[in-house]
Structure 1
């Protein structure tokens, strides 16, 4: 059974290190003093394939899905010593099959495909892989889930059923099918200018368990794992992840961003201990500035979270923002331990158009899909609000006479 609640992201236990810059891309390492015990993550690569995921009766999510993550916890988590990463192979070994029929939520990535391994021989068409659910238990202490797509499907399914009451303003299609099909666009990391080079060139710090990715100094994505070895195994998957339109444009059009340069007063350095203290103070100053300013849009926001799966003492959830227009809004997924500490995190920054669509749907649902009441909240007439619905891409939800009003 799924449960909902509020969430405030807390990266306590993760230390921010000075950033590394490549053109318009800034990578900010996140380091743990000690790995978070009891949970390990491993990659499962699916090669270049379009994935279809059954998420409900007659409902499917379709997107480019190059890889999945396998979470091991409890006795099989591998914390006792070195262990082979389960599921790290060029092609998934589970032979997942099956699926649903009918239209449903969908995501598409029109601009390129990422690779983290040697490409297979060219084929006549891109293969299709059917997945059973976004998160699927494979063993007593093992869960396979599809990173980021779990969060994107949560956004696409926002009020997916459409109008809950058959008000006369809504079309029969809206009442029968809701928002099916629902489509959003995203960009594969290989098309985000400078990201691939930055991930190849920059060093991975000792103890690094995460990274914050900025494009033109706008926070693009956060990625956190429980163990440094997990991060080393999953670092390259960042270039295969999906990124929003805003991130793609910022990376494409921005000039190089300034690098972090520590400024130490030489007159106050008399010994090695003084130098260490000065370096530590600069690191603290950078971390306070970054976490309090550059990452504030992610860390200071309140989210609505929905539990997806319980894994012993850990919980996998996905979350949605409040959809505040003209502000920074992120969706994502998180694994927390019994104390609420973040073991795993992956986020996706929404574009302004995606924020407006989420806000529009949320306000319609809050007013039980009453067009007049929602239009009044926006300070618009019904005709003006209908035009806004049309501009957001939801015009098929309205009866023709409503959409055609002057």
Structure 2
């Protein structure tokens, strides 16, 4: 397990639109030898062949193409491919599908196409996807033969998150900006980082097409406006332009320390498992899986970083409490070799309570019906056992 750091990036004062707060991330030195551009897709849904027996289906509006130089020389992005406005506005006769080969696919020696955010979400859906490795008698034949298939989760596009599209439209892009942290009702919704300021300008608007969790959608619907950042300078201590610059730097640094330590603390202070996906020249593309610790923020993600830990690309997705609960439960079951008695003892609950949690998480179909009925009857009789 390791923490996530925004190595090479600095936080700047936020801008606010209603309940949406956008916090810019800037680089003093942009990354020149790795560039990103978007490929926009005109299909309503995408189908990705993860392996010969597994497919991933979702709304996939665009993919990213990473281009790099082996010798460290500056690389140029190919540019965003835009759809014709007449085709975009015309209602389709039927749902259109686009088929993709793998989440990350090398196009040539120095170019890699990957599906942003879906790379991270597929890692969550595949969490212990194979199900029980030992055929314990409690598990159904479906669980033994097919594991958790099919596995589904819900998310909302950025267009459904109230205020986000307007905030992105009026947002002022800073010089040197290479990323943004998106807060909704002052809850961190997503982080987005790219290698170069030109990449950010090209990809800034794609945030409205990204997926956001249930928690963020409801915060946007129910939350009110958030306060804007305001600098307070003691005018009695300012005697020159140098004093004013120093006071402004102090305010900026205090805001950055507060934001990174408190507002983004759930993202930056979490423990993550790094799952290597592909080599991208001198960089590595990896998935981030959280610890699934209950009663705290948990973020999925994907990143590109070099061996020194310098962050070139990052995109994250905040899980809802229900999604955290499912991830936590699957992790505990796998750690206990999918044996109910072992897992219940490790969690400090009774076996009927564990079965109740499995059913509440939507995984009841994995258990045999007679086993579920048996544990329900024990729970009604108030079977003694350990409780958390």
What TM-score range do you get, normalising by the shorter chain? Answer: over 0.9
Instruction: Please state whether the residue corresponding to 1:237 is helix, strand or coil.
Output: helix
Deviation at 1:376, TM superposition (A): 1.9
Determine if the alignment matches structure 1 residue 89 to structure 2 residue 89: no
Q: How far apart are residue 116 of structure 1 and its match?
A: 10
Decide whether aligned partners of structure 1 residues 313 and 49 sit closer, same or farther in structure 2, where only a CA change above 3 A counts: same
Residues 272-311 of structure 1 aligned to structure 2 (within 5 Å): 272-311=241-280
Contact 2:287 / 2:302 at 8 angstroms: preserved in 1?
yes
Q: Secondary structure at the match of 1:175?
A: helix
Question: Which residue of structure 1 lines up, in the alignment, with residue 153 of structure 2?
Answer: 184
The residue number in structure 1 matching 2:224 is: 255
Q: 2:69 aligns with which of 52, 71, 74?
A: 74
CA change 1:19–1:348 in 2 (3 A) is same
Q: 359, 362, 365: which one pairs with 1:396?
A: 365
Matched, 1:59 2:45: no
Contact map agreement 1:35 1:227 (CA 8 A) in 2: yes
Q: Could you tell me how far 1:78 is from its partner in structure 2?
A: 7.7
Cα shift at 1:37: 2.9
CA RMSD of aligned residues (A): 1.7
Q: Which SS does the other structure have where 2:221 is aligned?
A: helix
SS at match of 1:404: helix
Q: 2:265, 2:100 → 1: CA distance?
A: 36
Residues 32, 73 of structure 2: 8 Å contact kept: no
Contact kept, 8 Å, 1:47 with 1:90, in 2: the verdict is: no
**Which residue does 1:268 correspond to in 2?**
237
4+ runs of 1 displaced by more than 3 Å?
75-78, 115-118
TM normalised by structure 1 equals: 0.90
Aligned mates of 1:59, 1:345 — CA distance in 2: 26
Classify the secondary structure of the residue corresponding to 1:179.
coil
For 1:20-35, what aligned pairs fall within 5 Å after superposition?
A: 20-35=15-30
> How far apart, in 2, do the equivalents of 1:332 and 1:118 lie?
32
Mapping 1:81-120, distance limit 5 Å: 83=76, 85-86=77-78, 88-90=80-82, 119-120=88-89
Rounded Cα–Cα distance in structure 2 between residues aligned with 1:9 and 1:37: 23
Tell me what 1:149 maps to: 118
For structure 1, which runs of at least 5 residues remain unmatched after alignment?
A: 1-5, 92-114
User: What SS does structure 2 have at the residue aligned with 1:196?
Assistant: helix
User: What's the CA shift string for 1:357-391, capped at 9, x where partnerless?
Assistant: 00000000000001011112233222221111011
1:329 corresponding residue in structure 2: 298
Q: Distance in 1 between matches of 2:314 and 2:73?
A: 20
* Paired residues of 2:21 and 2:182 also in contact (CA < 8 A): yes
Give, in whole Å, the separation in 2 of the partners of 1:331 and 1:12: 18
1:122 to 88, 91, 99: 91
CA contact (8 A) 1:70 1:87 kept: no
Matching residue within 167, 171, 174 for 2:143: 174
* Matches of 2:73 and 2:174, distance apart in 1: 22
Counterpart selection for 2:129 from 141, 156, 160: 160
TM-score (norm 2): 0.94
User: Are 2:66 and 2:112, in contact at CA under 8 Å, matched by a contact in 1?
Assistant: yes
Equivalent positions of 1:336-351 (< 5 A) are 336-351=305-320
In 2: Cα distance, 1:240 partner to 1:118 partner: 18
